[in-house]
A and B are shown apart, each in its own frame.
Chain A
Amino acid sequence: MDVTFQFDWQAAFASIPYLLKGIPYTLLISFGGLAIGFLIGIFFGLLRISPMRWLRWPAVAYIEVFRGTPVLVQVLFIYYGLPQLLGGPIDAITAGIAAIAVNSGAYISEIVRGGVQSIERGQREAGLSLGLSRVQTFRYVIWPQAFRRMIPALGNQGIISIKDTSLFAVIGVGELVRQGQIYIATTFTALEVYLMVAVLYLAITLTLSIGLRMLERKGLVGQ
């Protein structure tokens, strides 16, 4: 019996224009969420290293809760759960951005903490001894160095969050995976289409990797 399966290249390529419609949503949710997550991460990451316990504690709680629960549960909670509290619906894209923001924010808090703590104590002392205030010392001396050290870990987190958005097909956001599912529902070409979906994710993440590597190389000056 002949069971040879013919990979249908034509079907694969035919799906691409359709899949591409998902990319703006994938990018919007990933980068929108990561941008907010970065701000959250700076905020809680710095609270986390505060000498004052009552500032540290909320940061620890935030990080543990959002790092310790799955991003899928977080988005379901935001999309289906929160409207019950708020009394009105939340659109799926907003829910997706919020989920990436709070989830990546928890990880980025730890990245920020590690980056800042990795800077030698002498740097802070040198800044303070020159008469710079604590805020100035942080802004001009500590942060630029810490940020450079954070780039590889931030890149990692960016890639993870981009891939996490694929889960948001379940709340009906028209991102890459969702577009694939819809297309397959009428063409039954799952093998070809999911392969193309994977290739498109790879295209996004590779672009990011290369961009970060260039940024890193630029940042190496003087280190």
Chain B
Amino acid sequence: MKRQDAATVDARRIDPDAEPIVRMEKLNKHFGRLHVLKDIDLTVAPGEVVVIIGASGSGKSTMIRCINGLEEFQAGHLDVDGKVLEPYGKASRALQQIRTEVGMVFQQFNLFPHLSVLDNVTLAPMKVRHASRKHARQTAERLLKRVGIADQSSKYPAQLSGGQQQRVALARALAMEPRLMLFDEPTSALDPEMIGEVLDAMRELARDGMTMVIVTHEMNFAREVADRVIYIHQGEIVEQGTPDEVFDSPQNERTQSFLARVLTY
């Protein structure tokens, strides 16, 4: 990690007294008989970068997918940016509003294959925010440049590499000017040589003060950008703290054994 990065990360201002963007209280979710999330308590402050780690099947993806209503929960409280999400996935005005203000990047990119790169990025601003084509286009070009994909805007997703596709997906989400970004294993489907470019784009976003909740297996990245690391085991938050606390002196033995398995560097 570059010294300078650490300095900028530290300079980001997280106001602990500010109204949290995400507030989960005693959130419970079942898939049939499987209890996937057990009494999850989580608050995310504006500007905070939270990284969630844990084994596959531990419920970490499910947890962030609850935040924008892609998964329903059965019990507990969840509000996002002050808007309350009802249990059982009831479609509501609040859910719609939350989705316009929360961006998401998926493991499989999920770009729209029938639309050009530019149209992928301008679709939601034009249809949801009723931006003019010209304005949406300018925003898209600025964002594509920012994630390092200038001059490819007329291409189709299939013509891009995985790393490029994921960066377009990031630009697409940012075009809605979200207050919170969710990342669901954004580098897990990428070839190793393309992981770096996606992490770089995310790192820059964190540096600019975006509030982020990230599910990832990239432990070095987590240590570098996270304000807080959360370890989930079988649907429960077992441990959380600063990266130094969780990675260097984990208190819980399940965290210890998980880290012993994944921290191979």
Point out residues on A near B: beta carbons under 8 Å: 120, 122-123, 125-134, 136, 140-141, 144-145, 148, 221-223
Contact = CB atoms under 8 A, between A and B. Distances in A.
Contacts of B99: 128-131
Given A123-B112, A125-B106, A130-B172, A222 B124 contact: no
Interface stretch (B2-10, B17-25, B113-121, B221-229): B113-121
A222 B157 contact: yes
Interface in B70-114: 70, 91, 96, 99-104, 106, 108, 110-114
A127 B169 CA distance: 12
Nearest to B175: A130
B128 interface: yes
Interface centre among A120, A122, A125, A222 (most CB of B within 10 A): A222
A127 to B, nearest CB: 8
A140 B36 CA distance: 33
List the 7 closest pairs (A to B, CB-CB), nearest first: A222-B156, A131-B100, A126-B110, A130-B124, A122-B110, A129-B104, A131-B128
Given A132-B124, A223-B114, 18 more contacts: A123-B110, A126-B112, A127-B112, A128-B99, A129-B70, A129-B173, A130-B123, A130-B128, A131-B101, A132-B123, A136-B128, A141-B112, A144-B114, A145-B113, A148-B114, A221-B156, A222-B115, A222-B158
Interface of B: 68-70, 91, 96, 99-104, 106, 108, 110-116, 123-124, 127-128, 156-159, 169, 172-173, 176
A122 B128 contact: no
B176 A130 contact: yes
A217 to B, nearest CB: 15
Nearest to B65: A125
Contacts of B124: 130-132
Which of A122, A130, A136 counts the most chain B CB atoms within 10 A? Answer: A130
A222 B103 CA distance: 24
Contacts of A134: 91
Nearest to A133: B96
B68 A129 contact: yes
Given A129-B70, A129-B99, A130-B123, A145 B114 contact: yes
Contacts of A120: 108, 110
B110 A130 contact: no
Nearest to A146: B114
A129 B114 contact: no
A223 B158 contact: yes
A130 B115 contact: no
A29 to B, nearest CB: 33
A141 B124 CA distance: 11
Nearest to A143: B114
B114 A130 contact: no
Contacts of A132: 123-124, 127-128
Given A140-B123, A222-B157, A128 B70 contact: yes
A174 B124 CA distance: 52
A130 B123 CA distance: 9
Contacts of A144: 114
A145 B115 CA distance: 10
Contacts of B158: 222-223
Contact of A222 (B96, B102, B116, B123): B116
A144 B100 CA distance: 22
A129 B115 contact: no
Nearest to A134: B91
A141 B112 CA distance: 7
